[in-house]
Structures are given as structure tokens and as C-alpha cells.
Amino acid sequence: MRVVVLRALGLGDLLTAVPALRALRRARPDAEIVLAMPAGLADLARLSGAVDEVVDTAALAPLERSLHAADLAVNLHGRGPQSTALLRETAPQ
């Protein structure tokens, strides 16, 4: 199962997302969890122990094609319609 989680744009966003990411990891230990976020915080995201991959993504920019065909898409971005539309492009099952 491939899970795409839409971004933590800054340090505060990432820190508040860690409990949700860890809960997702506990619920789906076999899942590949991909976090779409700015690359500057990638090392910190990996330290959470809940993320398998970080894909560099700018704020509200179209998502990289490698993120399409996700089994599950999770929006931690909080920007409503724009981020929801971006996640819809991943065509989650």
C-alpha cells in the first residue's frame, strides 16, 4: 500500500504532523508512506520514524507524477480546496 501525505510547509507544521504520521505508521506498518513537502525539512521528517520517502514539493504546486496512483492520500496541509484538488490528482483508491 502506498500512502501519500500532503506536506508540512514549515517546522511547526511538521512537528504537529508527527503524531498523525506515527499513528498512520502504526495503523499501516507495511505501507510505504511518502510525505510531499519542501525538501529543507526532509531529514527531520525521516527522524520521525514514520516516513519512508520525502518528495520535494512547493506550496500548492502540482504534485510530482511519481505521487500519482496512491492507494491512500492524506491531507495535512489545511488549505482546503486547493490542497484537496492536488491530492485528488493522485487518484487514490
Counting Cα atoms < 13 Å in the Cβ hemisphere of 70 gives 26
Q: Which domains can be identified in the chain, with CATH numbers?
A: 2-88 (3.40.50)
pTM beyond 0.85: no
The pLDDT value recorded for residue 36 is: 87
Burial class of residue 43 (count of CB atoms within 10 Å of its CB; 0-12, 13-18, 19+): exposed
Give the tens place of pLDDT for each residue, 48-73: 999 999 988 876 666 666 766 788 88
